[in-house]
Amino acid sequence: MERLERRIESFLRTGSGDFESLSLELFRYQFEKNAAYQAYCQAQVISPASVSRWQDIPAVPMRAFKSTELTCFPPSAAAAIFHSSSTTEGRPSRHFLKHMHFYEASLRYSFERAVFSDHAQLPFYILTPAPGEVPHSSLTWMFDVVMRKWGAAGSGYFVQRDRLDEPRLLRLLKKATEAGQPVALLGTTIAFLAFFDYLKAQGDRLRLLDGSRLLDTGGMKSQKRQVSRSEFLQQVTELLEIPENQCISEYGMCELSSQFYGRGKDPILMAPPWLRTLVMDAETGEEALPGQTGLLRHFDLANVDSVAMIQTDDLGQRVDGGLRLLGRAPGADLKGCSLSADVLLPNA
């Protein structure tokens, strides 16, 4: 296993490696060490001996992370436990990480190429709480890693106890602009929208300097307020003067160790070379035809000590160079023959 770990880590640091071979070796390791995953594979009469392509490695549904400790090691030995923001019956998904170095190696490689290829010296203004306040947030952990690696002096967090500190953020952005300093803004879409509402209420707008950039992470799916990507970027341009091509969209989840990034109004999401995606036909459960919309299934080599192949409820298409994300599958919350009371009693 040490040799496998070293080879995977090398792949994550350099972007170069034998994906096909490593994926099958990782499946063998996870089959042997992850009891719940082994039981799940065996119940479908699938084992490493019967799998010769990474595409045939059994995928675990995301909901499994809500009920089961999917680990190749004792969960009590986890270096970190990431929780999802969404819950089912009060339970979030939990992703146990034995080490942080796979996660961090994957993150640094991808983030640098997607967001910081110019290695500009920018303060990072982060519209989330600090890690100490939300220790199980993979998003906050991610922002903390990149801020420590690339953030210039003055970097910091602007959410505390669920409240965005709009006045402080506005003050620091104005100060940076006056000082001729471009900035990097990172946060959830909903936090940015809250800031935009504040700016509009104040009758204020900013002219952030060339080189400024914004990274948002979506997160609209559970919100009552829905804003299209186009509308969002229009506000970014009008209120911050950050051009569309400097607006980066990040697609990730607590169940994965790696992320996708894309730019602009209709982002084509690109993955690092150790993260591959299948688009699955929602009707047949088979791989969708090229260009067809389907449910996204990801294989992440960086998920070394949990499960690498994850079936999501996200809809998307394969396009040249990457993926187009189309939202969550309707009816993703399975009901089968039960009727949701929300349908009959919407105001209760």
The residue among 39 and 79 lying less far from another protein, judged by its C-beta, is 39
Contact status: 72 vs another protein (CB under 8 A): no
* Burial status of residue 153 (CB atoms within 10 A of its CB: 0-12, 13-18, 19 or more): exposed
Stretch of 29-37, 73-81, 184-192, 297-305 contacting another protein, by CB under 8 A: 29-37
Q: DSSP letters of 292-311?
A: --EEEEEEETT-TTS-SEEE
Quick one: three-class SS letters along 183-201?
CEEEECHHHHHHHHHHHHH
Q: What would the two tokens of residue 172 be? A: 């620091």
Q: What would the two tokens of residue 94 be? A: 């939990």
Contact status: 61 vs another protein (CB under 8 A): yes
Contact status: 330 vs another protein (CB under 8 A): no
Q: Contacting another protein (CB under 8 A), which of 10, 55, 68, 86?
A: 68
Smallest gap from Cβ 96 to another protein, in A, equals 15
Contact status: 339 vs another protein (CB under 8 A): yes
Stretch of 36-44, 141-149, 168-176, 314-322 contacting another protein, by CB under 8 A: 36-44
Smallest gap from Cβ 244 to another protein, in A, equals 38
Q: Contacting another protein (CB under 8 A), which of 74, 79, 91, 163?
A: 91
Smallest gap from Cβ 219 to another protein, in A, equals 21
Q: Which residue has the tokens 């942080």?
A: 100
The residue among 153 and 334 lying less far from another protein, judged by its C-beta, is 334
Q: Contacting another protein (CB under 8 A), which of 3, 43, 201, 210?
A: 43
Number of residues located near another protein, criterion CB under 8 A:
37
The residue among 104 and 305 lying less far from another protein, judged by its C-beta, is 305
The residue among 16 and 284 lying less far from another protein, judged by its C-beta, is 284
Smallest gap from Cβ 140 to another protein, in A, equals 24
Contact status: 345 vs another protein (CB under 8 A): yes
Distances in Å between the alpha carbon of 8 and those of 77, 97, 172, 234, 259?
21, 15, 41, 40, 16
Considering only residues 269-298, where is the footprint of another protein by CB under 8 A? 284-285
* Burial status of residue 48 (CB atoms within 10 A of its CB: 0-12, 13-18, 19 or more): middle
Q: Contacting another protein (CB under 8 A), which of 39, 77, 79, 289?
A: 39
Backbone phi and psi for residue 195, each to the nearest 5 degrees, phi listed first: -65, -40
Instruction: Give the 3-state secondary structure of residue 164.
Output: strand
Q: DSSP letters of 245-297?
A: GGEEEEE--TT-S--EEEESSS--BB--TTEEEEEE-TTTSSBPPTT--EEEE
Contact status: 89 vs another protein (CB under 8 A): yes
Q: Contacting another protein (CB under 8 A), which of 67, 160, 222, 292?
A: 67
The residue among 90 and 291 lying less far from another protein, judged by its C-beta, is 90
Q: Contacting another protein (CB under 8 A), which of 11, 27, 29, 37?
A: 37
Q: Give the C-alpha separation, 67 to 49, whole Å.
A: 28
First to last CA, the chain: 53
Contact status: 50 vs another protein (CB under 8 A): no
Q: Give the C-alpha separation, 245 to 257, whole Å.
A: 26
Q: For binding to another protein (CB under 8 A), which residues are involved? A: 35-37, 39-40, 42-45, 60-68, 70, 88-91, 284-285, 334-342, 344-345, 348
